[in-house]
Homo-oligomer: A and B are copies of this chain.
């Protein structure tokens, strides 16, 4: 034992008091998942890098913890390759396994591998740690738990309704009031379509996401700086400024997205979900909110509705293709 032992950067121990609190939280979430018919699975901490790589973008690939091959990991490497010291390129020669970065990609792998044993629709939940070689910031860790519930093999919007009910039930049991924000990828696709600036979508998203911090005027200034034409910026205004009740927002969107088939489909989906949720006595507010955008465009896997809860950006469930 070294004189001053420590845990790796961004990881931590859980004391008995912390474990008691965490168990209470996880058991509550687990109970609610069971109540709604979700079944638990577990997947290994390690996955093949071929399963993980390319699923989280270039940045995600860098943030994977990679596990050195056992034995002679220099096998097959030429002198030139070694002396190139190309860390990023050679890592795939040294390592074939990595720690999972999230629970979604392992679940997708699980579904492919076990499709003959699964009865669809398959409602699964998974409560396990994930690892990210992120630069640790205050309150953020390189090892942390995710509590995912997903449905595969069903496109029914009732699944999304149920996921909102689950969120509402969990936080209700914690006696914590949250705002459940729902967004829809089809609406965002519609917006891209009508303003005709598909290739600058990232710039647009990053600018609009600063609305809370820098205000509308500066957002528009940034859009101009990024070379977005004035016509597109004008078309974006009703969407950037989108406010009011959910009904009012939907009505604005219907008008603005009138020429986009996919956009109108997204509005219809949100309308259905919100109307279904109106039948239940939810404890928490549900709000249609097109921001933050970036989560939605980060990964093409997100086809359906997106839920963001409170200010924690906690992701709960979506239909994964």
Chain B residues closer than 8 Å to A95, beta-carbon distance: 68
Contacts of A46 in B (CB 8 A): 7-8, 11, 65, 131, 143
The answer to whether A41 and B67 touch across the interface, beta carbons within 8 angstroms, is no
* Cβ contact within 8 Å between A44 and B5: no
Across-interface contacts of A109 in B (CB, < 8 A): 1, 5, 7
**Cβ of A73: which chain B residues have Cβ within 8 Å of it?**
87, 91
The reply to whether A41 and B19 form a contact with Cβ atoms under 8 Å apart is yes
With most chain B CB atoms within 10 A of its CB, the pick from A6, A8, A68 is A68
> Is A83 close to B, CB under 8 A?
yes
Q: Do residues A5 and B112 form an inter-chain contact, with CB atoms below 8 A?
A: yes
- State whether B41 touches A14 (Cβ < 8 A): yes
Let me know if A71 is at the binding interface, CB within 8 A.
yes
Of B16, B48, B112, B133, the residue contacting A40 (CB under 8 A) is B16
Residues of A near any B CB (own CB < 8 A): 1-2, 5-8, 11-16, 19-20, 23, 39-48, 50-51, 62, 65-68, 70-74, 77, 79, 82-83, 85, 87, 91, 94-97, 99, 108-110, 112-114, 117, 124, 129, 131, 133, 143
